[in-house]
Structure 1
Amino acid sequence: MTTISCSKDESTREEEQARLDKMYQEIIDYSQVNSKSCTNPDEWSFMKYSPSNCSGYMIYNKAVDADIFRKKIDQYREAQGKFDAKWGVYYTSDCVMMPPPTGIKCVDEKPTLIYGNTKPQ
C-alpha cells in the first residue's frame, strides 16, 4: 500500500520561521544599516516594511538600489502573510499607533529614525 500526500509544502513551522528570519536578515544586510557608519543623515532613507500602523519602517543607505530593497521587503511581507495564514498567527491591535518618521539622524554612527518635530543633530 502506497500513501501519496497532496500537500506541496510539508515544512515545519520552525523551518518556515527560519526561512523568514533569513529573508529578514538579508533585508537588513542589504540595507547596510549595520555595516556602514552614519556620519551624514542625508545618505540614508527609510521605507515602510510593515502593513501595521504600529511600527514597520526600515532604514537603508541611499547607495543601495531602492527598487531591489522594496522588492525584498515585498517578498518578505508576502511570505510573512502566508506563514501567518498557514500557522494561524494573529496579531493584537493593542499597540500605540506611531506617526511616520520625519527623518533620520546619526546617533553613535548609527542611522536613527526621527519622529515628530525632533531636530536632527
Structure 2
Amino acid sequence: MIYKENLQYVVIGKFSYGMPKIRKLKKLILKQCELKGGCNIRLLGNHYVLIRAEIMENYVNLLSNPSFYLTHRQYSYPMRTFKWDPMFDPEEETTKTITCIYFPSLPQISL
C-alpha cells in the first residue's frame, strides 16, 4: 500500500513553537531545507506538516538533519523531522527519532 499510494518518501515535520501560514511554509521548506525538485506539503494538525518528497535525495536530506530552522521575517521556526509511520497520530507525542552513532575506535570490516 505504501508504494501504491506513493508514501515511501514521506516525512513528518513538527513545529513545537508555531509556524508560518501554509502558503509561505511551502516556499520556506523548499528553499531553506535545500530540496531539489518538487514535493507535496500538507498540514496535519496544529503542529505537523506532511512532506511527500518526489525523490529519494530530498527524503534522505530531510531525515539526515535533526532539525531545520525556517526563518521568516524576524522569526525562526524550529522544525524537527521524522519518518512517517502508518500508525502516526498527530494527537500523540512523538516517541521515535533517528540517531547517528559513530564509533571511531572500531576497525573497518570488509565484506
Q: Which has the larger radius of gyration?
A: 1
Question: Which protein has the bigger strand share?
Answer: 2
